[in-house]
């Protein structure tokens, strides 16, 4: 595979790809943290657009959990490994000894960073095309039965003898016609996850879906 080619995109500025595949443990090299920040936003927008097209009749409450699953760290880690990013990562000696290329968080971050690099190298359309190419099957395979993640999480916790989770509004921004909410859900045992949405209810559903994924209750 060419050093300038990744995820179906050929880089005109290969330095972006090199940076995207460089973990912060590789001292002395520009790492991928800033690109990861950008790629996370690119992925969220591209997946939202794809979901609207695939499910034109779905409500926001039905779309939010699918979105949360598609962009979850667990999903990204699996996809990153399948796409061969593990073999291309630049890691520091410590992470190499600890088999860092197999760690889900490092794999997930690298995939987001590559998306950020593609956006900077080729623009929105290039990044959008890559997401559609590699996430189409992921999105269409999302469990349709998880229509109400909050209820599913509540039922699971009660089955484990645990009290109901709590939802905290972490962030609220945007103008009145385009509000953006970030909610954190926390269980009595300390498990937690974040969710985002255009309403507090949608953000709570997304947070519940994310936590269900983290707990391994839904794939």
Q: What residues does each domain of the chain span?
A: 5-140, 149-214
Active-site residue, selected from the candidate residues 36, 95, 109, 112: 112
Order of strands, sheet of 180-186, starting from the edge strand that comes earlier in the sequence = 166-173, 180-186, 192-197
Statement: residue 217 has pLDDT above 90: no
Question: What pLDDT does residue 146 have?
Answer: 52
Q: Tell me whether residue 9 is exposed, middle or buried, using C-beta atoms within 10 angstroms of its C-beta: 0 to 12, 13 to 18, 19 or more.
A: buried
Residue 112 annotated among the catalytic residues of the structure: yes
Q: 3-state class of 67 per DSSP?
A: helix
The pLDDT-based confidence of 127 (bands split at 50, 70, 90) is very high
- Homologous superfamily in CATH for domain 5-140: Ribonuclease III domain (1.10.1520.10)
Place of tokens 């039922």: 155
Fold of 149-214: Double Stranded RNA Binding Domain (3.30.160)
Question: What pLDDT does residue 36 have?
Answer: 94
What does the angle CA 180 – CA 74 – CA 97 come to, to the nearest 5 degrees? 125
Average of per-residue pLDDT values in the chain = 86
Q: Which helix (H) or strand (E) holds 201?
A: helix 200-214
Residue 40 annotated among the catalytic residues of the structure: yes
Strand runs labelled E in 103-219? 166-173, 180-186, 192-197
Question: What pLDDT does residue 1 have?
Answer: 45
State pLDDT tens for residues 135-185. Answer: 988 888 775 545 578 888 888 888 888 999 999 999 998 887 778 899 999
Residues in Cβ contact with 73 at an 8 Å cutoff, skipping those fewer than 6 apart: 104, 105, 108, 214
CA dihedral 152, 155, 156, 158 (to 10 degrees): 160
Question: What pLDDT does residue 67 have?
Answer: 86
CB atoms near residue 172 (< 10 Å): 12
State pLDDT tens for residues 4-31. Answer: 788 889 999 999 999 999 988 887 778 8
Give the distance from CA 77 to its chain's centroid.
Answer: 9
Statement: residue 187 has pLDDT above 90: yes
State pLDDT tens for residues 46-70. Answer: 999 999 998 888 777 778 778 888 8
Q: DSSP code of 189? A: T
pTM summary value: 0.66
Active-site residue, selected from the candidate residues 40, 95, 121, 196: 40
**The two structure tokens encoding residue 78:** 């699996």
- Give me the phi and psi of 90, to 5 degrees please: -100, 115
**The two structure tokens encoding residue 73:** 């760290």
């Amino acid at each position: 595979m060419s050093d300038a080619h990744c995820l179906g995109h050929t880089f005109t500025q290969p330095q972006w790809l090199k940076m995207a595949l460089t973990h912060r443990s590789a001292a002395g090299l520009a790492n991928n943290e800033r690109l990861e920040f950008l790629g996370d936003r690119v992925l969220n927008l591209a997946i939202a657009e794809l979901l609207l097209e695939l499910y034109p009749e779905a409500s926001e409450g039905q779309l939010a959990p699918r979105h949360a699953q598609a962009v979850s760290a667990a999903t990204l880690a699996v996809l990153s490994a399948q796409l061969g990013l593990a073999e291309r990562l630049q890691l520091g000696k410590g992470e190499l000894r600890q088999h860092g290329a197999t760690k889900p968080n490092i794999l997930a971050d690298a995939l987001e960073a590559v998306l950020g690099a593609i956006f900077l190298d080729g623009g929105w359309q290039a990044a959008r095309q890559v997401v559609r190419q590699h996430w189409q099957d992921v999105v269409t395979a999302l469990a349709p039965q998880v229509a109400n993640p909050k209820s599913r999480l509540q039922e699971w916790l009660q089955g484990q003898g645990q009290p109901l989770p709590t939802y905290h509004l972490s962030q609220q921004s945007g103008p009145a016609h385009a509000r953006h909410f970030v909610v954190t859900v926390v269980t009595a045992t300390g498990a937690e996850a974040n969710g985002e949405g255009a309403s507090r209810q949608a953000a709570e559903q997304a947070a519940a879906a994310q936590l269900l994924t983290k707990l391994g209750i839904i794939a």
